[in-house]
Amino acid sequence: DSGVTQTPKHLITATGQRVTLRCSPRSGDLSVYWYQQSLDQGLQFLIQYYNGEERAKGNILERFSAQQFPDLHSELNLSSLELGDSALYFCASSVEGPTNQYFGPGTRLLVL
Amino acid sequence: QQQVKQSPQSLIVQKGGISIINCAYENTAFDYFPWYQQFPGKGPALLIAIRPDVSEKKEGRFTISFNKSAKQFSLHIMDSQPGDSATYFCAASESKAAGNKLTFGGGTRVLVKP
């Protein structure tokens, strides 16, 4: 158990819909990262927040957005969902600086 | 653009044997190289990590070898056990860039036969 929690574990929705994925980092970690894992693209970095502020952006679609709240939990919002958005979405957390990132159990999203 | 290339895609090893996974990177600014282990339906779990000022790091049966001039690093799993059957990912990040995103290799599926 990494100490990172993610909800929900599974999500099934339809194309065009909007969903919100939630992540709670390890106690004491200020950075939260979101990654997408799909069969064809592998593990891809989406976005990072540090203490409530966006720190870095990766290959994140404009339909996707994220935020980190004062209690340090983070939410990833996916809108206008397409079939290709079906994937595993992982959250990871770390303390400040280039240190180890610890991953949560992921949310499996299926868009039908 | 795949900045971290991982090979092989899969490998089968007998119990007690050595599993070797190789990774090569292009970005010379990378300065932190972790390895993750992932079981089906689970999140990646940090296994071991190395920085380029060290050529080798060992933790239990897992060893990372690092060759800075060749821009390559590898994971050796000694005395492989059936419980080691999983997908292994190498990754890299650059500490001086904004944020510390990890760039992952494509993964290696390891099967250890009893």
Residue pLDDT, tens place only, A37-73:
998 778 999 999 999 999 999 989 999 999 999 999 9
Positive or negative CA dihedral for B66, B2, B85, A90?
A: positive
pLDDT at B106: 95
Q: What band does A100 get if pLDDT is binned at 50, 70 and 90?
A: confident
Cβ of B102 within 8 Å of Cβ of A44? The answer is no
* Res B82 pLDDT > 60: yes
* Res B103 pLDDT > 80: yes
Residue of chain A nearest B39, judged by CA positions? A105
Q: What band does B109 get if pLDDT is binned at 50, 70 and 90?
A: very high
Which of the pair, B28 or A67, is modelled with greater confidence?
A67
* Res B1 pLDDT > 60: no
> In this predicted model, what pLDDT tens digit does every residue of B51-78 receive, in sequence order?
988 999 999 999 999 999 999 999 999 9
Q: What band does A35 get if pLDDT is binned at 50, 70 and 90?
A: very high
Q: A106 is written with which tokens?
A: 């992921």
- Give the mutation candidate from A1, A21, A37, A43 for the B interface (greatest B CB count, under 10 A): A43
pLDDT at B99: 72
A43, A50, A105 ranked by CB distance to B89: nearest = A43
Q: Which residues of B touch A94 (CB under 8 A)?
A: 100
Question: What are the DSSP calls for A42-77, one per residue?
Answer: EEEEEEEEETTEEEEE-S--TTEEEEE-TTS-EEEE
B34, B101, B103 ranked by CB distance to A48: nearest = B101
- CA B83, chain centre distance (Å): 17
Q: What band does B2 get if pLDDT is binned at 50, 70 and 90?
A: low
Chain B nearest CA to A101, separation (Å):
8
Chain A nearest CA to B101, separation (Å):
7
Q: Report the C-alpha gap between A32 and A19 in whole angstroms.
A: 19
Residue of chain A nearest B97, judged by CA positions? A56
